[in-house]
Chain A
Amino acid sequence: MSGVLSLISRTKLYWGLIAIFLLGVLSSPVSSKGNNIFLSYGNLLDVLRQVSITGLIATGMTAVIITGGIDLSVGSLMAICTVVCAMLLTVEGDTTAALFSLPMAGIVALAIGFSIVRFVIVNLEKSKSEEQSGRDVALDRTRGLVIPLAAGAVLAGLLLWFLLPQVPTKFGVLGVLIVAPSVGLCFGAINGLLIVGGRLQPFIVTLAMMVTALGIARLTAGQNNAVLPVYTGSNAVAEFDNLRSLVFGIIPAPGLFFLAAIVLYAAVLRLTPFGRYVYAIGGNEEAARLSGIPTGKVKVATYAISGLLAGIAAVLYVAQYRQGKPDAGAGLELDAIAAVVIGGTSLMGGRGSMAGTFCGVLIFGLLSNILQLHNINSNLQLVLKGLIIVGTVLVQERNAADLMNFLRLPARRPAQKGASVERRRQEETRTLEET
């Protein structure tokens, strides 16, 4: 019995998702042909398409939050990237967007080439001296710096060789799919470098970036045409439509990107040392640093990836809504944080999972869909969403009982104040013992 209960409590996240789903199925209005509208394939695809942009952002946000940080700039970063993407797609010649996005793409290629080659060299070196299992491998200057740098330069050169000829004409799909995420990655990395290098609060740094990036997005878009429309086939390449349509007639392209991103990132968090480091930093950053984890690099990477995903989301946004504009991602960071928190990730860091975020994103998406299908007043919808956030987190954190006790009259309050904290501590020790 207790086994069943603990199973239920461990999987309660999925139960929330299932409950919302059942609620949708049971209460769904029925179409004229007698079909359940909520369950119809089209409707479920709508939901997946609608959540995919928030989902991509939430994916990047999850890792940032697990390290104990926060990224408020994602909405604005997405805005910049939509403007860059739309401008590259529709305007020929040296635009403001091309002016800063291409160098950024070059820098990203350089950095990626450098790190990959260096990583390979370090590991080769390690396997050569196997008896010595230490983390540090000394590399001479040629192999440690020159060769990786050369490789990076070659990669950057190749990329620019591919991209530069597209400037006088208009960019193709692959071009924007490389450039826009690179821009996001660069800005994200700047966030990370400021936080690590300047030892600043992530909240402040990303808040500043949120404002700055919004300004850059507006400057790039220009005052008079704040919205850059993208009409595939007339002012942009027709293939760009592929990013909106169904892939193989089964799944919408944005949904595919979201699923791929979250599965990949979940695997990285679960299976690689990098993932372990992310959790370790969130648990206790100082301890992690003292035990030799490169905390700075890992943190910069999480913010950079968050920016990267914002850039990918931006390209999908442009495809889906046929436009890039500076106010594209307004408020998106809060939606993403809400989804992450509903998914059980702790804002204090160290605790959370991508599976949780996936559920959180879907719970939010399904809920909006259900409320919409019932034509609930949109102001009331906001209230309900707020309640759902608080409610789910209460259940998540198993603090509902504490709140009940707190609300009771002091005289009738049981003496077990903070019981859930105590219980969690016990459970944690138990799981530690089990493993």
Chain B
Amino acid sequence: MKRRHILMLGAAVLASTTILAGNAQAQDKKWKIGFSQCTTIEPWRAQFNKDIIAEAAKHPEVELIITDGEDKTEKQVADVENLIRQEVDAILISPKESAGLTGVVQQAIDAKIPVFVLDRNVETDQYTQFIGGDNKLIGRAAGEYVVEIMGGAGKASGNLVEIWGGMGTQASHDRHDGFHEFTDKEPGIKNLLDQQSGDWKQDQAYNIMANALKNNEDIDVVYGHNDPMAYGAYLAAKDVGREKDIKFIGIDALPGEGVTWVKNGELTATFLYATPGAEGLRQAVSFLNGGKVEKTITLPTEKVTSENAEAILKEKGM
């Protein structure tokens, strides 16, 4: 019996070795680029990965390795350490958080691997490039649009509900600040809620909106710090039959969420928080091929309304 165990163990080892070895013999490609993603569970992150994979398919000379940090700092640090050991030609990283990943990014830089930091920055400036969206810019675009649909600059009026993402996250504060640069100039616009946070989640936004609907007879515009929250607010209004009187504005514009909801007429507009996936890979390839890259790239936003929603979905293959 024991002998059989040993045999079985041996067989298992052999089998897995061949599988692994087969896996390791990837085609000989010119550039090996590692991308450390912090988590893949959120829809925005999933889109991020889709974008980078789609871009990599356009560069046959690139072998792209994607690792998933599983939303744990420890795991992501180990992922990057591993990429360093594999001697990849460039590392793209979208850190789970700034402090926790700074050390390992430094380690990669010390190992003379060019590092492209995506979306969230780290506490060093020796990386090759930072690419990210600008939430304040997006907030401004949303604020300008809301003023426009509420009557135009100088004469806008109505009641506004704002649902925050999280009081502790910079993104939420930026989306708030940019937005209010425009709406606060309008004396006619009344803010109904005082800093209500839906934690970026649809169900929590539903509850906030349900309460707001009970307390306020008249709501004109809902601004959610992301699309799922704007959609949650829409569902709450729909459940009391008031969705037609209210305009819902969100941010992120993921094809599967915001853009689809806009196309269905549920949201009035959403503003793109672009993933740096495609741009990041393009920049890395151009750098490896000897091109010069800028230190910082800020991705532009895009307004999605019923006019262009369908076209965007088609472009994304949906």
Given that A8-B6, A46-B78, A223-B167 are known contacts, is A374 also in contact with B72, CB under 8 Å in the complex?
no
Instruction: Report if A376 contacts B (CB, 8 A).
Output: yes
Instruction: Report if B314 contacts A (CB, 8 A).
Output: no
Encode A2-39 as 1/0 by CB contact (under 8 A) with B.
Answer: 00010011001001100100110011010110000100
Within the complex, what minimum Cβ distance (angstroms) separates A50 from chain B? 5
Q: Which residue of B lies closest to A31 (CB)?
A: B87
Instruction: Report if B30 contacts A (CB, 8 A).
Output: no
Contact pick for A375, options B40, B67, B70, B77, CB 8 Å: B67
Instruction: Report if A230 contacts B (CB, 8 A).
Output: yes
Give bound CA distance, A369 to B1, whole Å: 32
Within the complex, what minimum Cβ distance (angstroms) separates A238 from chain B? 14
Give bound CA distance, A373 to B85, whole Å: 8
Whether A369 contacts B82 by the Cβ 8 Å rule is yes
Whether A42 contacts B20 by the Cβ 8 Å rule is no
Query: Which residues of A are found within 8 Å of B167, using beta-carbon distances?
Result: 223-224
Stretch from A150-158, A170-178, A198-206, A315-323 at the B interface: A315-323
Q: Which residue of A lies closest to B65 (CB)?
A: A375
Q: Which residue of B lies closest to A43 (CB)?
A: B85
Q: State the interface size on chain B (CB cutoff 8 A).
A: 39
Q: Which residue of B lies closest to A317 (CB)?
A: B74
Instruction: Report if B296 contacts A (CB, 8 A).
Output: no
Contact pick for A374, options B23, B97, B99, CB 8 Å: B23
Instruction: Report if A395 contacts B (CB, 8 A).
Output: yes
Whether A229 contacts B168 by the Cβ 8 Å rule is no
Instruction: Report if B286 contacts A (CB, 8 A).
Output: no
Encode B148-171 as 1/0 by CB contact (under 8 A) with A.
Answer: 000000000000000000011000
Whether A226 contacts B20 by the Cβ 8 Å rule is no
Instruction: Report if A40 contacts B (CB, 8 A).
Output: yes
Majority SS at the chain B contact face: helix
Instruction: Report if A118 contacts B (CB, 8 A).
Output: no
Given that A50-B74, A244-B103, A323-B97 are known contacts, is A22 also in contact with B13, CB under 8 Å in the complex?
yes
Instruction: Report if B196 contacts A (CB, 8 A).
Output: no
Contact pick for A27, options B1, B21, B86, CB 8 Å: B21
Whether A323 contacts B82 by the Cβ 8 Å rule is no
Q: Which residue of A lies closest to B10 (CB)?
A: A19
Given that A23-B16, A323-B100 are known contacts, is A223 also in contact with B87, CB under 8 Å in the complex?
no
Contact pick for B99, options A26, A46, A322, CB 8 Å: A322
Whether A19 contacts B9 by the Cβ 8 Å rule is yes
Instruction: Report if A149 contacts B (CB, 8 A).
Output: no
Within the complex, what minimum Cβ distance (angstroms) separates A51 from chain B? 10
Query: Which residues of B are found within 8 Å of A373, using beta-carbon distances?
Result: 82, 85-86
Instruction: Report if B79 contacts A (CB, 8 A).
Output: yes
Whether A374 contacts B78 by the Cβ 8 Å rule is no
With most chain B CB atoms within 10 A of its CB, the pick from A322, A370, A400 is: A322
Instruction: Report if A274 contacts B (CB, 8 A).
Output: no
Encode A354-375 as 1/0 by CB contact (under 8 A) with B.
Answer: 0000000000000011101111
Whether A42 contacts B5 by the Cβ 8 Å rule is no
Give bound CA distance, A242 to B141, whole Å: 47
* A residues 319-347 touching B (CB-CB < 8 Å): 320-323, 328, 330-331
Whether A323 contacts B99 by the Cβ 8 Å rule is yes
Give bound CA distance, A23 to B15, whole Å: 10
Whether A321 contacts B73 by the Cβ 8 Å rule is yes
Give bound CA distance, A230 to B103, whole Å: 11
Query: Which residues of A are found within 8 Å of B47, using beta-carbon distances?
Result: none
Give bound CA distance, A374 to B17, whole Å: 11
Within the complex, what minimum Cβ distance (angstroms) separates A317 from chain B? 8
Q: Which residue of B lies closest to A331 (CB)?
A: B72
Give bound CA distance, A42 to B68, whole Å: 22
Chain A interface residue count: which class? Answer: 35 or more
Give bound CA distance, A373 to B77, whole Å: 14
* B residues 4-48 touching A (CB-CB < 8 Å): 5-6, 8-9, 13, 16-17, 20-21, 23-24, 40
Query: Which residues of B are found within 8 Å of A8, using beta-carbon distances?
Result: 2, 6
Query: Which residues of B are found within 8 Å of A435, using beta-carbon distances?
Result: none
Query: Which residues of B are found within 8 Å of A27, using beta-carbon distances?
Result: 16-17, 20-21, 24
Whether B103 contacts A226 by the Cβ 8 Å rule is no
Query: Which residues of A are found within 8 Å of B86, using beta-carbon distances?
Result: 29, 31, 37, 373
Whether B82 contacts A400 by the Cβ 8 Å rule is no
Instruction: Report if B184 contacts A (CB, 8 A).
Output: no
Give bound CA distance, A226 to B99, whole Å: 12
Query: Which residues of B are found within 8 Å of A160, using beta-carbon distances?
Result: none
Query: Which residues of B are found within 8 Å of A132, using beta-carbon distances?
Result: none
Instruction: Report if A53 contacts B (CB, 8 A).
Output: yes
Instruction: Report if B123 contacts A (CB, 8 A).
Output: yes
Instruction: Report if A225 contacts B (CB, 8 A).
Output: yes
Whether A223 contacts B78 by the Cβ 8 Å rule is no
Instruction: Report if B81 contacts A (CB, 8 A).
Output: yes
Whether A40 contacts B168 by the Cβ 8 Å rule is no
Instruction: Report if A227 contacts B (CB, 8 A).
Output: yes
Query: Which residues of A are found within 8 Å of B168, using beta-carbon distances?
Result: 223-226
Given that A46-B78, A226-B168 are known contacts, is A378 also in contact with B67, CB under 8 Å in the complex?
yes
What 8 A-B pairs come out closest when comparing CB atoms?
A: A229-B99, A378-B68, A27-B20, A323-B99, A372-B82, A321-B100, A375-B65, A224-B168
Q: Given contact pairs A27-B21, A31-B87, A321-B74, enumerate 11 new A-B contacts (beta carbons under 8 Å).
A: A12-B5, A15-B9, A22-B13, A27-B20, A37-B85, A50-B74, A227-B97, A227-B100, A230-B99, A320-B77, A321-B99
Report 5 cross-chain contacts, Cβ distance below 8 Å, ordered by A residue: A27-B24, A50-B81, A53-B74, A321-B103, A375-B65
